[in-house]
Amino acid sequence: MKLMIINGPNLNLLGKREPEVYGSTTFEDYFNQLREKFSQVELEYYQSNIEGELIGKIQEVGFDYDGIILNAAAYTHTSVGIGDAVKAVETPVIEVHISNTHQREEYRHVSYISPGAKGVILGFGLQSYNLAIQSFLG
C-alpha cells in the first residue's frame, strides 16, 4: 500500500507554533514514528505553504497511490481549487485536522475539502494521521 500525506500552510512549524493547540512534536519526528509503526505501508510526506503546489501534488499522486491523507490547514476553509482537485482525482482522500476545527473560529467550520473526501478526522492531535492510515488498512 502506498499513501501520501500532504500538509498545507504553517504545518512546517509544528512543534514551535502554538504548542497549546498543536503540541510540541515536529511533524518530521511524528512522521518517522508513523513509518516505524506502519512499516508495511509505503508512506510519503509532502508539505507546502503554497496553494498551487498542493493542488499540483494532489494531481501528481491522485491516480497512482492507494490513498492521500490531506491536511490543507487554513486552505481547507478558503480553497475551492484544492476542493476541486480532491474531487478530480481517483485516489481516495481522507481530510485530517490536528485540532477540532468546530471548536475554533466560525470560519473554520466550513470545509471545501469534505465534499470530495472519503472521510474526515479531526480533533485527535497528531493521532488524526494515525487514524487516517488505519482507515486505509481496513
Set 30, 77, 97, 129: catalytic member? 97
pLDDT of 78-109, one tens digit each?
999 999 999 999 999 999 999 888 767 787 77
The span from the CA of 22 to the CA of 104, in Å, is 13
| pTM assigned to the model | 0.94
Burial of 108 (0-12, 13-18, 19+ CB in 10 A): middle
Which of the four pLDDT bands, split at 50, 70 and 90, describes residue 22?
confident
The predicted structure's pLDDT at residue 27: 94
Q: Find cell 498545507 and name the residue.
A: 8
Which of the four pLDDT bands, split at 50, 70 and 90, describes residue 21?
confident
Set 22, 45, 65, 112: catalytic member? 22
CA 119 to chain centre: 11
The span from the CA of 106 to the CA of 109, in Å, is 5
Position with higher pLDDT, 24 vs 84: 84
Is position 77 annotated as part of the catalytic site?
no
Is position 102 annotated as part of the catalytic site?
no
